[in-house]
């Protein structure tokens, strides 16, 4: 069973039903809202992330309450949020007073909660490939961060000195996210171009291996005939890099076709695209401008 964390936040024990603390523009949060939609849950409403009023604390069956934690306003870099999610990242799922952190542990938790429709292939070889792609996807997440900050967010990704000081004070030394180390280098332009390019090449290697699997047997989903948790993780990853202007159609056409199929799904529309229109437009607009001036990801994509 996935990990159930026991956070210090006094809010958690008050929550009944499902509550998702997330940010609609963040791939890790999208993995969960996509899964919730595929499992048939509807976003009943959004409330302030720390709203503990009786009305906000109850999620009716078949729905979840969305509690947006703004990564733009840096709500995740506060002591109050760190009491809920000690690594200071989104998402967190709370179900009947129990909190689960780590997006893919949350997806696993939802699979146990609602086994139908299954997001694990029945066939052992396909299930093994799913696990492999999940592990790879978790590793590639670091590269997604570097690529999307450098080619997507640019200067908008920097944080202020006060936020940096707050992370220094609150982040646990053993946090797997290591936000302080990243922001200290990112804020000061101390990450060199080769590091960013290395992360892009790592991503392209992973996409290339999947392109070959699509080419070999024309499978509709990453692991075979049905949607799995690997598709969930990878769809959110490809969306972010697509938003940053990566030319998937030209470089990885079969992966691009798969992504189009994912985009057409009702669960992806409802769980990911509909709530994320503003961020999506901002990213795409910036990418189009860079392409126009001959820069951006299209210029450095592998030939």
89, 76 Cβ separation under 8 angstroms: yes
Binding of ligand GSH at residue 211 (CB under 6 A)? no
Least distance in angstroms from the C-beta of 250 to ligand GSH:
26
**∠ CA 19-62-228 to the nearest 5 degrees?**
80
Place of tokens 């790879």: 136
Binding of ligand GSH at residue 9 (CB under 6 A)? no
> Based on C-alpha coordinates, what's the Rg of the chain?
19
Binding of ligand GSH at residue 76 (CB under 6 A)? yes
Binding of ligand GSH at residue 90 (CB under 6 A)? yes
Binding of ligand GSH at residue 255 (CB under 6 A)? no
Binding of ligand GSH at residue 107 (CB under 6 A)? no
Binding of ligand GSH at residue 297 (CB under 6 A)? no
Binding of ligand GSH at residue 228 (CB under 6 A)? no
Least distance in angstroms from the C-beta of 49 to ligand GSH:
13
Q: Which is nearer to ligand GSH, 71 or 82 (CB)?
A: 71
Task: Please provide residue 58's backbone torsions phi and psi, each rounded to the nearest 5 degrees.
Answer: -110, 125
**Helix, strand or coil for residue 206?**
helix
Label residues 95-126 b or e (16+ Cβ within 10 Å = b). beeebbbbbbbbbbbbbeebeeeebbbeeeeb
Among 9, 33, 35, 103, interactor with ligand GSH by CB under 6 A: 103
- What lies within 8 Å, CB to CB, of 11 at 6+ separation is 50, 52, 84
107, 31 Cβ separation under 8 angstroms: yes
Q: Which is nearer to ligand GSH, 124 or 176 (CB)?
A: 176
17, 95 Cβ separation under 8 angstroms: yes
Binding of ligand GSH at residue 27 (CB under 6 A)? yes
Q: Which is nearer to ligand GSH, 232 or 287 (CB)?
A: 232
Cβ burial of 69 (10 Å; 0-12, 13-18, 19+) is buried
Q: Which is nearer to ligand GSH, 51 or 177 (CB)?
A: 177
Q: Which is nearer to ligand GSH, 55 or 173 (CB)?
A: 173
β-pairing, 92-95 vs 98-101, is antiparallel
E strands, 106-258, in order: none
Least distance in angstroms from the C-beta of 90 to ligand GSH:
4
Please state the length of the chain: 303
Which window, 34-42, 102-110, 198-206, 222-230, contacts ligand GSH (CB under 6 A)? Answer: 102-110
- Each residue 160-189 as x (binds ligand GSH by CB under 6 A) or -, in order, gives -----------------x-x----------
Binding of ligand GSH at residue 59 (CB under 6 A)? no
Least distance in angstroms from the C-beta of 225 to ligand GSH:
27
Q: Which is nearer to ligand GSH, 57 or 262 (CB)?
A: 262
Interface contacts to ligand GSH, rule CB under 6 A: 26-28, 71, 76, 89-90, 102-104, 177, 179
């Amino acid at each position: 069973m996935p990990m159930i964390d026991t956070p210090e936040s006094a809010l958690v024990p008050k929550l009944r039903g499902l509550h998702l603390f997330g940010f609609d523009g963040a791939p890790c949060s999208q993995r969960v809202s996509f899964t919730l939609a595929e499992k048939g849950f509807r976003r009943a409403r959004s409330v302030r992330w720390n709203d503990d009023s009786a009305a906000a604390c109850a999620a009716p069956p078949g729905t979840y309450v969305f509690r947006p934690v703004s990564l733009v306003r840096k709500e995740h870099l506060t002591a109050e949020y760190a009491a809920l999610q000690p690594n200071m990242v989104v998402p967190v799922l709370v179900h009947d007073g129990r909190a689960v952190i780590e997006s893919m542990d949350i997806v696993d938790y939802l699979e146990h909660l609602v086994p139908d429709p299954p997001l694990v292939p029945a066939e052992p070889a396909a299930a093994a490939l799913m696990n492999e792609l999940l592990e790879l996807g978790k590793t590639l997440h670091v590269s997604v961060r570097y690529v999307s900050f450098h080619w997507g967010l640019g200067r908008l990704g920097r944080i202020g000195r006060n936020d940096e000081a707050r992370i220094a004070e609150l982040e646990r030394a053993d946090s797997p996210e290591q936000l302080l180390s990243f922001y200290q280098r990112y804020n000061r332009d101390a990450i060199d171009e080769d590091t960013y390019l290395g992360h892009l090449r790592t991503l392209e290697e992973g996409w290339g291996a999947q392109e070959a699997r699509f080419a070999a047997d024309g499978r509709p989903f990453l692991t075979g005939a049905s949607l799995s948790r690997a598709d969930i993780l990878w769809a959110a990853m490809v969306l972010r890099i697509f938003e940053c202007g990566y030319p998937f159609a030209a470089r990885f056409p079969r992966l691009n076709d798969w992504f189009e199929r994912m985009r057409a799904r009702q669960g992806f529309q409802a769980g990911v695209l509909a709530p994320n229109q503003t961020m999506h437009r901002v990213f795409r607009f910036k990418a189009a401008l860079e392409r126009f001036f001959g820069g951006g990801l299209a210029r450095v994509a592998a030939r």
